[in-house]
Structure 1
Amino acid sequence: MRISGLSNSSILGNLAKNKRKLIPIPNGTIPDPKGQDLDFVNVAYSHLIHSDWEKLEKLSSGFTPFRFKHVLLKMKKDYVLSYELYKWVQLKNPTFHNLETHSMILHVLTKHRKFKSSQLIMKDILNSSSVDLPFKLFEAILYSYRLCDSCPAVFDALFKTHAHMKKFRNATATFCQMKDYGFLPTIESCNAFMSSLHSLNREDIVLTFYGEIRRCRISPNTYTMNMVIYAHCKMGNMDKAIEVFQDMASMCLFPTVASHNILISAYCNKGLLTSAIKLKALMEKNGLKPDSVTYNTLINGFCKQKKMHDANKVFSEMKGVNVSPNTVTYNSLINGYSQLGNSEKGYELYEEMINIGVKADLLTYNALILGFCKEGKTKKAALAVKELDKQNFVPNSSTFAALILGQCTRKNSERAFELYRSMIRSGCHPNSNTYEILISSFCHNQDFDGAIQVLREMLGRNITPASTILSELCNGLCEKGNENLAVKLRNEVEARSRG
């Protein structure tokens, strides 16, 4: 997989470079203004410091990038006025600024810690489609660095901007160039880079970059370590995640509630609920109070394993310590009971959440509908769908899948197929489970033409049926004396699965 045009190996390779000696920062200069240029600069500067924009307006046609740079150099200590001039000139002529004038205002703003404004300018510049623009921008900032008496924050802002824009190739290149000249990003900017990588599930690069942070002796903070723990968990390396968690104290960093929640979630995802509960107890022993995320994670973990008694114990404790249940809490419980075929308990929880002012969402209604449909209570499911519509939620694939299941449970395969058609028209995509439920329903009703039609639609979407479903259809055809058709269908499915 490539991200922003750069392969994983390229990123790792770039990070491994830069073992050479530091490169001296160049002394960029611009010629002094003379004659008319000098007069213009002095007059414009005078108008600016007196905020006489009316007089400055008369000079607007005489502004050139050269004159602008000298005016900016004279007033660089006043970042407010400098920024106003920058924007004023741009308003007069949107194509006026070049990389040199851009870089100079970036120096002024970042030196005065106006990072939001500087990053907005950087984003506007970098949104250009020019491939080599990021390199040229770095170069322009570098060459005007000493001229503007700047500070390293300007490079940090550039690195952070690339990270926020998810331009990982540019961020990596900037990081390496910064190291070349002896600049290092702040840990906050490194965190922004790692966070952006997490959003694209690139935990491998997160961990590589963390190693580079440590080699550069950039001190990580708790947020950094939480991302490292999360990366190890996501990659299935729980032992390493626990090791990092335990090593935080040696770095004078102490696990927060969020740190514990990451590990608790990983334990729950692996079905290690006893370990998750033990970690929660350790968290409390260390004086940290579990929050709604902690409780919701545990409740969901127990619900997924159909341990509703344990889920309810956690739910009761949550309410007992005044941690308010939210939509996520109730959705987990309602879905847990629905999966077990206890729609009555699920509906009780739905009424409870509405009564205490917790808002239901689409997932809530889908869980209710599933519970009703599993028990063949299609009328109640229809009422839930009406409530869903009343709340302006749009049914999704899960909604339709549940409704199809309900009709199939009642052996009403024709109605189920109508719902399937509505599902397709709505732009929702059935999964293999929905197709297989439909095929099985048609088979139970001895409607093998309908089952074959569904199978062909399934194959048309490049979804291969489970062997059990295919056997059910083929055995039914054989019992009806259609052995040839059964063999033909089996061969067709096998040929597609091989292809």
Structure 2
Amino acid sequence: MAKSPSSIFIFLRQRFQNQPKSRNFTTAISEGNNNTFRDDDDKRFKDIAKQVSKTIRVQPRWEKTLLCDYPPSVLLTTHCVEQVIKSTNNALLSYRFFRWVCSRNGFTPDSRCCNAVFDVLVQAKASKVAKMLIGDMDFVPDIGSLELFVVCLCEDGDVDEGFEFFLYLRKAGYVPSLGVCNNMLSGCLGAERSDVVWKFYGEMMECGLGGDADTVGYLIRAYCADNKCFEAYELLKQVLESGFVPHGIVFCKLIARFCKVRDYGKVSELLHLMIAKNCAPTIFTYQEIIYGLCNNQMGAEAFRVFNALKEKGYAPHRVMYNTMIDGLCEMRQMPLAQKLWFEMLSKGFIPNEHTYNVFMHGCCKSGQFDMAWKLWKEMSDRGLRKNKFNYNTMIASFSLGGKLNEACALFEEMPKMEIKRDAVNYNSMIQGFCKIRQKKKAMKFYHDLIATGSQPSAAAYHSLIRALCVTGEMQAALDLWKDMLHRNVEPWISTHDNIIMGFCKQGNTREGMSWLTRMLEKNFIPLEKTFNEMIKCLISKNLRDDALLILCKMLRLGYELKEPHYYKFVDRLCSTNSDQAGLCQKDILD
């Protein structure tokens, strides 16, 4: 269903219909007090306007004294008001002054005053206040001001409303400039609304605005945002053949997309195209390549590119160092990561919270907890305020690394630092205590998490259920399973394995077989250990047919029966049916 037009659109449409279709127009609300003045009075008005502007900037509650400080015969003229609005250099103060002066007896604003404050609000990106002004003051801004207002709406993220305003301008017969249209396209991309980019471009085509290199650049970026990198590449080739060369950021966006889909052949082609068109790749271009390689677990290649850049004279920036350190940490190349860390410091780059976060995570991941703790303290020494992401990283790393004392200390420290705990912290603590088999403490964190109104993650549920299954507390494990499903948390496949093995340890073949059957019906592949435990349990209960059935399924999946189970199984078969034992042995050996 189409969105009904707001009252402001209805008002503008009515006023447009009554206006001559000229590109520049103004509509006076009232010209009764629009005092005429000689050219030699202009300086006097401007001087007083500057004094008034200074007063309202520095003096609190100036509304009570302004008419006493300055002659009303000058202050309450539309020319003086317009000059004050333009010279205040503060959109909110200009708007406050305008509202105040409109409430004074003897003053009625004309279109120039309204347009002046409207322009100030638009320049300050105060699109909502500007829209309110149109309705409150019952005036139509100049067409140029309305064009900028549409751009402002797009840049503020109100792209749907901006497009609607644009359509009303078009219906009134006004053709926007190409520069304004390009700014609209840019605003839509900034708001991540590539769908509206194509709508704007369709209107541009209807206006006869073919576009320029910037326009094509925005369209290529819109294709990239839609994950249509090959269409973007074809459009780029067409525009290059036409003699246009888009901005370097367009190449960067396209390179980033091809890195994401691992098409490094196209990345190489784009780099060569940039060089051929005298649009030399910048450090930001190579940053996209290094980031893409690291994201695709190609850290070694990223490091080669990084070193090659330095040899060619490029100076990596802090973001590139962060990316490369993160990539090396993921590869567990901590000596190289540390070398880059100190190299970055020697270049004069001061690590920020994100830089520390990357390196601390790498240290924890490689088991260098002492180094991570040292970096944590170094952050405080440098006066850096730790944020939620820093705490999340350290608590998760220490918890999963078995350093629960340190993790608990950080967990307790968060409220003191006025940082709100979230589900990530609780889930990390649950997994950590389950890992060291302290399920009582893990369950306490589970209940505390529920009390906050959040819910455990699938990983936290998995850890708790596994811990309960190991100790044979199957009913408690099933209760957690039901709670997980009730909260619409998708269980891990391996959580099924833990429950099956838990029933097997209890000797409960019926429940174990039931859960295993459900796994297979859902096309989930159980672990080899799960099959072996199930067969072991069935053999112990003398359920040879069921054991043989499970064995056949297990062998079809390419798993092997562990040797002790194999001998015990064949012995049981031999005790009743030697032919069956021979066939079973043949299947196993095959």
TM-score of the pair, normalised by structure 2: 0.65
* Mapped partners of 1:168, 1:386: distance in 2: 45
Q: Flag the 1:83–1:132 CA change in 2: closer, same or farther, 3 A.
A: closer
Q: Take 2:48 and 2:391, find their aligned partners in 1: how far apart are those partners?
A: 68
- Give the letter aligned to residue 318 of structure 2: T
Matching residue of 2:297: 306
Q: 1:131 to 1:156 in 2, by over 3 A?
A: closer
Structure 1 equivalent of residue 83 of structure 2: 84
- Contact 1:257–1:290 (CA under 8 A) maintained in structure 2: yes
Query: What's the offset of the Cα at 1:253?
Result: 2.8
Q: Which has the higher contact order (CA 8 A, sep 6+)?
A: 1
- Mean CA deviation greater in 23-32 or 406-415: 23-32
Structure 2: runs of 5+ lacking an equivalent:
50-66, 89-93, 491-590
What CA distance in whole angstroms lies between the structure 2 residues aligned with 1:182 and 1:251?
Answer: 31
Q: Which residue matches 2:266? A: 275
Distance, in Å, in 2 between the alignment partners of 1:263 and 1:88 is 43
Which residue of structure 2 aligns with residue 427 of structure 1?
419
Alignment partner of 1:25 is 2:16: no
Q: Aligned AA for 1:134?
A: I
The whole-number CA distance in structure 2 between the counterparts of 1:243 and 1:338 is 37
Is the 1:138–1:174 contact (alpha carbons within 8 Å) kept by the matching residues of 2?
no
1:165 Cα deviation from its structure 2 partner: 4.6
Question: C-alpha deviations, 1:24-65, integer Å up to 9, x for none?
Answer: 5179678987xxx7xx945x4366146388999999434698
Asked whether the 8 Å contact 1:377–1:406 carries over to 2, the reply is no
Residue deviations 1:227-276 (CA, integer Å, cap 9, x gap):
32222222222233223323324665323321110101112233334432
When residues 87 and 314 of structure 1 are mapped into structure 2, their CA distance, relative to the original with a 3 A threshold, is closer
Residues 163 and 304 (structure 1), Cα distance of their counterparts in 2 relative to 1, 3 Å cut: closer
For these two proteins, the number of residue pairs brought into alignment is 449
Pair 456,202 (structure 1): closer, same or farther in 2 beyond 3 Å: farther
Q: Is contact 2:468-2:477 (8 Å) kept?
A: yes
Over 3 Å counting, the alpha-carbon distance change for 1:82 and 1:307 in structure 2 is same
Q: 2:72 aligned with 1:61, yes or no? A: yes
State which drifts further: 188-197 or 56-65.
56-65
Change in 2 beyond 3 A, CA 1:368/1:323: same
C-alpha contact 2:153 2:162 (8 A) present in aligned 1: yes
The residue number in structure 1 matching 2:134 is 134
- Report the CA distance between 1:346 and its aligned residue: 1.1
**One-letter identity of the residue aligned with 1:359:** I
Counterpart check, 1:48 vs 2:47: no
Q: For the structure 1 residues 24 and 409, does the alpha-carbon distance in structure 2 shift closer, same or farther, using more than 3 Å as the test? A: closer
Q: In the aligned structure 2, how far is the partner of 1:125 from the partner of 1:351? A: 42
Supply the distance in 1 between the matched residues of 2:315 and 2:124 (Cα, whole angstroms): 43
Within the candidate set 203, 208, 222, 2:213 is matched to 222
Deviation at 1:119, TM superposition (A): 2.5
Which string of whole-angstrom CA distances, capped at 9 and with x for unpartnered residues, describes residues 429-468 of structure 1?
Answer: 5565x655543432232211122233334555534432x6
How far did 1:132 drift?
5.9
Please name the residue that 1:96 is paired with.
101
- In 2, the alpha carbon distance for the partners of 1:120 and 1:370 equals 47
Report the 3-state secondary structure (helix = DSSP H, G, I; strand = E; otherwise coil) of the residue aligned with 1:96.
Answer: helix
Q: Does 1:402 align with 2:410?
A: no
| Matching residue within 448, 459, 480 for 1:489 | 480
Q: In 1, distance between residues paired with 2:463 and 2:338?
A: 35
Counterpart secondary structure, 1:332: helix
Letter in 2 for 1:339: E
Task: Please tell me whether the aligned partners of residues 477 and 485 of structure 1 are also in contact (alpha carbons under 8 angstroms).
Answer: yes
Quick one: distance in 1 between partners of 2:108 and 2:230?
50
> What letter matches 1:286 in structure 2?
K
Residue 464 of structure 2 is aligned to residue 473 of structure 1: yes
| Bigger mean CA offset, 230-239 vs 437-446 | 437-446
SS in 1 for 2:380: helix
- The CA distance in 2 between the partners of 1:196 and 1:54, in whole Å, is 38
1:441 to 1:88, Cα distance in 2 relative to 1, 3 A? closer
Distance 2:46 2:396 in 1: 71
Secondary structure at the counterpart of residue 488 of structure 2 = helix
On the 8 A contact 1:372/1:406 being kept in 2, the answer is no
Question: Out of 139, 151, 159, which is 1:160 matched to?
Answer: 151
The alpha-carbon distance between structure 1 residues 316 and 154, as it changes in their structure 2 partners (threshold 3 A), is: same
Q: CA deviation at 1:335?
A: 0.7
1:222–1:254: 8 Å Cα contact kept in structure 2?
yes
| One-letter code aligned to 1:95 | W
5+ long unaligned stretches in structure 1: 1-6, 73-80, 110-116, 143-151
One-letter code aligned to 2:100: T
Aligned AA (2:468): L
State how far apart, in whole Å, the 1-side matches of 2:336 and 2:125 are: 57
Alpha-carbon contact 1:47-1:53 (below 8 Å) kept: no
* Residue aligned with 2:314, SS: coil
Aligned partners of 1:375 and 1:409 also within 8 Å: no
- Kindly state the Cα deviation for residue 105 of structure 1 after the two structures are TM-superposed: 4.8
Distance between the aligned counterparts of 1:288 and 1:494, measured in 2? 55
Alignment-derived partner of residue 119 in structure 1:
119
After superposition, residues 316-331 of structure 1 pair within 5 angstroms as 316-331=307-322
Read off the aligned partner of 1:427 and give its amino acid letter. I
Deviation, structure 1 residue 384: 0.6
- Aligned to 2:487, the other structure's residue is in SS state helix
Q: RMSD of aligned C-alpha atoms? A: 4.2
Equivalences for residues 223-302 of structure 1 within 5 A: 223-249=214-240, 253-302=244-293
1:159 and 1:185 in contact (8 A); partners too = no
Compute the TM-score of the two structures, normalised by the length of structure 1: 0.75
**Within 2, Cα distance between the matches of 1:386 and 1:234?**
40
